[in-house]
Amino acid sequence: MSARAGRRLPVLLWMLAFAVLELLAFRGAARLGRLYAAPLSLRYARPLTAGQVEAALDDAAGAQREQTVSPTFWRQGTTALKGPAQAADAGVLWYWGEAAQVFPGEYLAGTAPGPWDEAGCAVSGALAWQLWGSLDAVGQRLEVEGAVRTVRGVFRERKALVLAASSPAAGAFTAVELAAAGLTAEEARAFAQNCGLGAPDFMVYGEGLVSLAVLAAWLPAGVLALAALVRLALWSRSWPPLARQSFWLLALVGAALALPLLLGLVPGWLLPGRWSDFGFWIGLAQRLAAQGEEWFSLPPTLREVQAKGLLLAQAALAAGLALCTQRLLWAAKQPPQAGTGARRVRCAACPAAANAEAAAPAPGG
């Protein structure tokens, strides 16, 4: 193997590792986005009453406001189930609203039950194997707390879990998912106060967590792209004038087209009114620290446990991407190896050496 090939091999391996880690980072961010389908979630230490839930639903349906807020209520618990041949204890997610906002699982068969489908349910793959011995459980009958329900879908989950609708009169809900585009924390708290739910004990900023995960996945690729552009710009100084001017024109047009896309990746609350306003950055750091502390102190639910696992995996991927980025940038700055340059100099001097040898007198001549 030549010295140049030996130098390129580690760079190719770092590039391959970078590509694999980027793919995993984007997949993790997409999974986190499915897990937090609603931008904001309210959590209550004490269960909401049926009157509070019905009043909030009536207010959301009839209120005249600039943006429509669609609440979905849910709670997590355990229940005893009865299948056709055997019984089982399983976790249960009771909901009233959109099931995908409560547990947006990947369905192996069928679909999620409807928003108010009290006659249907969805079960996890682990529960389907436990009760029926296969994943072919769509259409099967399942008794949940004395009520017979029809299985609408089977979703991927390693724990025994059932997803079932429960009317506001029966379910003591403790969580509210708020689906609305561009909903802020202040607007969410105002909605909870105005419709009678009261101030939440905790808030889950799902949209912010997803935005940070996406931004962390894009950042290493952006750093490498910027470094490549700078290197190409320096190289263009030795080009002919027409080629150099064409390159800069294309670069400026590309930057103008890419700027809206890049700003779209950054959440609005990360963009200050004035970039020189240091008070904004200090307040942002304090707010993020408070939200992170609030999120980690949440009562444990299946979704939060999965989200925390995903975020830990994203942090590990970010560390790996940072290492790959540093190694690739370091390799790009290295000059050609001395051995290669020496061979080139020797080859360039070969004609002169040959002429000198030809002109020299022969021994004994």
Domain-embedded: residue 235: yes
pLDDT band for position 343 (cuts 50, 70, 90)? very low
pLDDT band for position 265 (cuts 50, 70, 90)? low
pLDDT band for position 335 (cuts 50, 70, 90)? low
Of 143-157, 186-200, 350-364, give the lowest mean pLDDT range: 350-364
pLDDT value for 6: 53
Q: Is the per-residue pLDDT at 86 higher than 70?
A: yes
* Residues 321, 283 share a domain: yes
* Residues 142, 23 share a domain: no
Domain-embedded: residue 364: no
Q: 97 — alpha (psi -120 to 50), left (phi > 0) or beta?
A: left
* Residues 79, 28 share a domain: no
* Residues 200, 321 share a domain: no
Domain-embedded: residue 155: yes
Domain-embedded: residue 357: no
Domain-embedded: residue 343: no
Q: Report the domain count for the chain.
A: 2
Q: Is the per-residue pLDDT at 321 higher than 90?
A: yes
* Residues 192, 212 share a domain: no
- 25-62 in b/e form (b: 16+ CB < 10 A) is bbebbebbbebbbbbbbbbbeeebeeebbebbbebbee
- Concatenated DSSP letters for 220-247? HHHHHHHHHHHHHHHHGGGS-HHHHHHH
Token output for 312: 């830990």
Residue 201 contacts residue 295 (beta carbons within 8 Å):
no
* Residues 195, 108 share a domain: yes
* Residues 51, 31 share a domain: no
Q: Are strands 40-43 and 202-204 parallel, antiparallel or unpaired?
A: antiparallel
Write out the residue range of the structural domain in which residue 264 sits.
Answer: 3-35+208-333
pLDDT band for position 4 (cuts 50, 70, 90)? low
pLDDT value for 267: 63
* Residues 286, 235 share a domain: yes
Domain edge (last residue) among 148, 178, 204: 204
pLDDT tens digit string along 168-181? 887 789 999 998 87
Q: Is the per-residue pLDDT at 37 higher than 70?
A: yes
Domain-embedded: residue 78: yes
- % of the chain surpassing 90 pLDDT: 27
| Spatial separation of the C-alpha atoms in residues 226 and 329, rounded to whole Å | 11
* Residues 187, 271 share a domain: no
pLDDT tens digit string along 129-183? 999 888 999 999 999 888 899 999 999 988 899 999 988 887 789 999 998 877 8
- % of the chain surpassing 70 pLDDT: 83
* Residues 176, 51 share a domain: yes
- Where is mean pLDDT largest: 233-237, 316-320, 349-353? 316-320
* Residues 161, 53 share a domain: yes
* Residues 241, 148 share a domain: no
